[in-house]
Structures are given as C-alpha cells and as structure tokens.
C-alpha cells in the first residue's frame, strides 16, 4: 500500500484536535482599521481607473490562451527540471556512436551504420526517463502551478526531441564531411523516422506504466529486436520478419511518423487523467 492510500483509508486522519489546539494557541490579531480603510480607498481608486479605461474589443477576449511568451517560459522552466544526466548521457552516447561510425570505415548500407542504429535508442531512452515517479522530484512543485500536466510533458518531450534532433544533425554533418561515402540527406532520412517513432513509443510506455526504468528496459529490448531484424535481413526466418517490421526501411517512414504522432497524442491524453496525479502527488 502506498503512502497516499494509507492516508486516504485513514479517513481524514488529519483532523487532529491536538494540532488544532496548538495552532489555535496563536491567534491572528484584528486587521488594523486604518490600514483596511486605506486598502479600500486604493481599491476604489483602481476601480475608477479601470472603469475609465477603454473596454477591450470582443476579439481581444477571444485571443489564444497561450501566448508565445508563456510557451517560452514553460520551456525554459523545463530545461532546468529535466535531469542533467539525461542531457549529458544523450550527448555522450551520440558522440560515441559518431566516433564508432567514423572508426569503423564500414562500406555496408547506410542504414547499418552504428550512428544510424544508435540514434533511435538514444532518443527513446531519454523519452522513457522523462516521466515517472522515480525520476520526477519536481512533480509536486508542478502540481501546485496552474499549468496543465500535459503542457509540462509536451514541453519536456519537445525539448528533448529537439536536443536529440540537433545532436543527430550535427553528427550527420560531421559524418558527411569526414566520410566521402556518406551523403547528408540520405543519412538524416535513415535515422529520423526510426528515432521519432521509437522515442514516441518510449514516451507512451512511460506514461502508461509510470515507471521510467521499466519503460527504458522495454524500449531497449524492442530496439534490440528491431536492430536484429534489420541487420539479419533475409537470413532470418519468415516468421520473425513478419513479426518485427524493419524500422529502418524507407517504405515504412510515413507510417512511422503517423504512428509517432498517434502515440504522443495518446500519451498526452492519458497524462492528464487526474487520478494518476492525485495518486502520485506525494512521495
């Protein structure tokens, strides 16, 4: 039984007479009548100023709830709240993937390059760790703000995805410059769809399971199976080929983007369910 459930079943155990008596031993004084009158006078003044101000047009009242400034402020706050090791780990593994690819000098297909294979799982692991009670200490803080949970999660996902995208693009540029057998656009297209799909799936997984570590393990296992399927190719039994799609196949790219979009939308829908937040608000 969790701490929360324990409190809940205790049926309002918080209504305690000793605490009431203790707090009641300190009574607030009466408000100073002069200060109260001064406050009311200031309010009248403000009201008069408001009344004389121009009434805003109807279109102004119907303007979007979220201004660009608000979106920027949410993104900025989430940069600080996402664990530093997610940023550092992602950058480090991308760098390792890049170095291994540069060192390998393999002339096989572009989709078999270590960098192309590694990019999706790096992004997926980061996305899996974005949401979960064990990786989210500032959750309580966020619950006390009027920002909806799904806006916070969307902001985090967008930030991390942009970070991964930026890192992978830089890596691709370096590869395209340093290796004459690699061209930039085919390289980008080879990892973009798998990376988007796998990170969206990992995010959905973490929202459904509410367990960052388990989501990361599941994502890793799925990625290993898909990489095995991709590298094994025709050598694999037909049953295995039918069970696992080739994530790096160009034919699947549009479907992967659509699946990623659906997964993120579904995850955001689930993330706003009140009971989830209520049950995990206090740890």
Partner 1 sequence: MVSDEILAVKLKNGDRSALEMLFERHYDSLFGYLFRMTFGDRALAADLAQESFLRVLRGIQTYDTARPFKAWLYGIATNAARNAVASADTRRTESFEADADYPDEAPPFEQTLLEAEAASSVIAALRQLPEHQREAIVLFYDQSFSLAQIADTLNIPVGTVKSRLSLGVKRLREIIGAENR
| Binding segment toward partner 1, per CB under 8 A, in 35-43, 68-76, 167-175, 261-269 | 35-43
**Closest C-alpha among 254, 250, 273 to residue 187:** 250
Q: At closest approach, how far in Å is the CB of 44 from partner 1?
A: 7
Task: Determine if 7 is a binding residue for partner 1 (CB under 8 A).
Answer: yes
Q: Considering Cα of 242, then 213, then 263, then 269, what sign does the dihedral take?
A: positive
**Count of residues near partner 1 by CB under 8 A:** 48
Residues 6 or more apart whose Cβ sits within 8 Å of residue 150: 268, 269, 271, 272
Q: Out of 71, 99, 143, 208, point to the residue binding partner 1 (CB under 8 A).
A: 143
Q: Out of 67, 72, 134, 140, point to the residue binding partner 1 (CB under 8 A).
A: 140
Task: Determine if 255 is a binding residue for partner 1 (CB under 8 A).
Answer: no
Task: Determine if 59 is a binding residue for partner 1 (CB under 8 A).
Answer: no
Matching residue, tokens 């002339």? 107
Closer by beta carbon to partner 1, 35 or else 239 = 35
Task: Determine if 54 is a binding residue for partner 1 (CB under 8 A).
Answer: no
Rounded Cα–Cα distance for residues 138 and 281 (Å): 10
Q: Out of 1, 61, 235, 242, point to the residue binding partner 1 (CB under 8 A).
A: 61
Residues 6 or more apart whose Cβ sits within 8 Å of residue 122: 90, 93, 94, 97, 164
Task: Determine if 145 is a binding residue for partner 1 (CB under 8 A).
Answer: yes
- Hey, what are 107's tokens? 């002339």
Task: Determine if 51 is a binding residue for partner 1 (CB under 8 A).
Answer: yes
| Binding segment toward partner 1, per CB under 8 A, in 36-44, 95-103, 174-182, 194-202 | 36-44
Task: Determine if 64 is a binding residue for partner 1 (CB under 8 A).
Answer: no
- Hey, what are 231's tokens? 């590298």
Q: Which residues contribute to the site for partner 1 (CB under 8 A)?
A: 3-4, 7-8, 10, 12-14, 16, 18-20, 22-26, 28-32, 35-36, 38-40, 42-44, 46-47, 50-51, 56, 61, 140, 143-146, 274-275, 277-279, 281-282
């Amino acid at each position: 039984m969790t701490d929360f459930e324990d409190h809940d079943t205790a049926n309002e155990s918080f209504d305690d007479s000793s605490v009431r008596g203790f707090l009641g031993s300190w009574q607030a004084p009466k408000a100073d009548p002069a200060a109260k009158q001064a406050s009311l006078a200031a309010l009248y003044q403000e009201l008069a100023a408001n009344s004389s101000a121009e009434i805003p047009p109807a279109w102004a009242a119907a303007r979007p709830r979220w201004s660009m400034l608000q979106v920027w402020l949410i993104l900025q706050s989430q940069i600080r709240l996402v664990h530093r090791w997610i940023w550092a780990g992602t950058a480090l593994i991308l760098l390792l993937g890049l170095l291994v690819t540069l060192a390998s000098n393999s002339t096989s297909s572009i989709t078999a390059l270590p960098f192309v294979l590694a990019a999706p799982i790096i992004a997926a692991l980061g996305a899996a760790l974005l949401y979960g009670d064990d990786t989210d200490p500032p959750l309580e803080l966020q619950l006390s703000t009027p920002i909806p949970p799904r806006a916070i999660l969307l902001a985090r996902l967008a930030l991390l995805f942009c970070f991964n995208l930026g890192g992978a693009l830089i890596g691709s540029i370096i590869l395209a410059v340093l290796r004459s057998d690699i061209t930039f656009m085919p390289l980008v297209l080879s990892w973009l769809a798998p990376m988007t799909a796998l990170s969206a799936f990992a995010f959905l997984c973490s929202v459904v399971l509410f367990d960052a570590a388990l989501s990361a393990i599941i994502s890793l296992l799925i990625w290993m199976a898909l990489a095995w399927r991709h590298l094994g190719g025709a050598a694999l039994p037909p049953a295995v080929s039918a069970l696992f799609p080739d994530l790096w196949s160009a034919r699947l790219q549009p479907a992967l983007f659509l699946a990623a979009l659906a997964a993120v939308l579904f995850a955001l829908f689930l993330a706003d369910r009140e009971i989830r937040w209520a049950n995990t608000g206090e740890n």
